Amino acid sequence: MRMLVAILTATVLGGVGTATLADSHGKDWSGMVGVTALYKPQYIGDDEEQMTGAPVIIVDYKDTAYFNIDRAGWWFWKPNDAWRVGAVLQIRPKAWDSDDGHLNDVKPLPNDFDDPDTGVEPGVNVRFKMDKFTAEAQVTAGEDTNALIEGKYNLVQSEQFVVTAKLGVEFLGEDQVNYSWYGDKGSLDNDSATNAYIGISPCRPLPRAGNCFTA
């Protein structure tokens, strides 16, 4: 499965052509900045949740290529206005840092374990969007096969301000959980992890002028 995902992504990124849908005003770039508050497990595989915050940075080019704070992608098939299928690169931050005193308190580990590295996982994703609702699913190949399903709904939507509620479930395979905690010495036995989260994101769309952002 991991090999299939990697081969498909490499093929797509290597040059599968597709037609793009032009912006009705000829403006190629769009973007959004804001913050998100998430209620999620305090670490991978934990049964207890906590509230955490993160920045939101989204850049989009012609509804074809995009980047946000933890992934980048390209929609290579756009059959209509609602559906998108694409290749994605998911940034997987390391879960464990030996310098993080909080993690040492909540999940102490044996001595002399390596810190894992932040990874980038190739994969494929599908998105459905209708009016204020968006649903997306993706599968990526990291240390193991990982998956994400997420639904979003714009509670407030205007040219100046967007507030989005989100609900998601992420599955991480056993090897991914082992590596995320133990790095190259992932010899301890862990189960796979299924992490559910709920959150809200107030954001401001960036205005556009021609093909460039304006301040």
Average pLDDT over residues 123-128: 98
Using the structure block, give the residue that is written with the tokens 């374990």: 113
pTM as predicted: 0.76
Using the structure block, give the residue that is written with the tokens 């699913």: 137
HEC secondary structure over 93-130: CCCCCCCCHHHHHHCCCCCCCCCCCCEEEEEEEEEEEE
Please, which pLDDT band fits residue 185 given cuts at 50, 70 and 90?
A: low
Which amino acid type is present at position 203?
A: C
Residue 103 reports pLDDT greater than 60: no
Residue 108 reports pLDDT greater than 70: no
Using the structure block, give the residue that is written with the tokens 């915050």: 53
Residue 86 reports pLDDT greater than 60: yes
Average pLDDT over residues 190-215: 75
Q: Where are the beta strands (DSSP E) in the chain?
A: 29-41, 49-61, 65-68, 71-77, 83-92, 119-130, 133-141, 145-157, 162-172, 193-205, 208-209, 212-213
Average pLDDT over residues 72-85: 97
Residue 143 reports pLDDT greater than 80: yes
**Residue 195 burial class via C-beta count within 10 angstroms: exposed 0-12, middle 13-18, buried 19 and up:** middle
Residue 65 reports pLDDT greater than 90: yes
Residue 61 reports pLDDT greater than 70: yes
Please name each of the domains of the chain with its CATH number: 2-13+32-213 (2.40.128)
The most confident of 49-58, 77-86, 172-181, by mean pLDDT? 77-86
Give the model confidence (pLDDT) of 1-45 as tens digits: 444 344 334 333 333 333 333 333 447 899 999 999 999 876 666
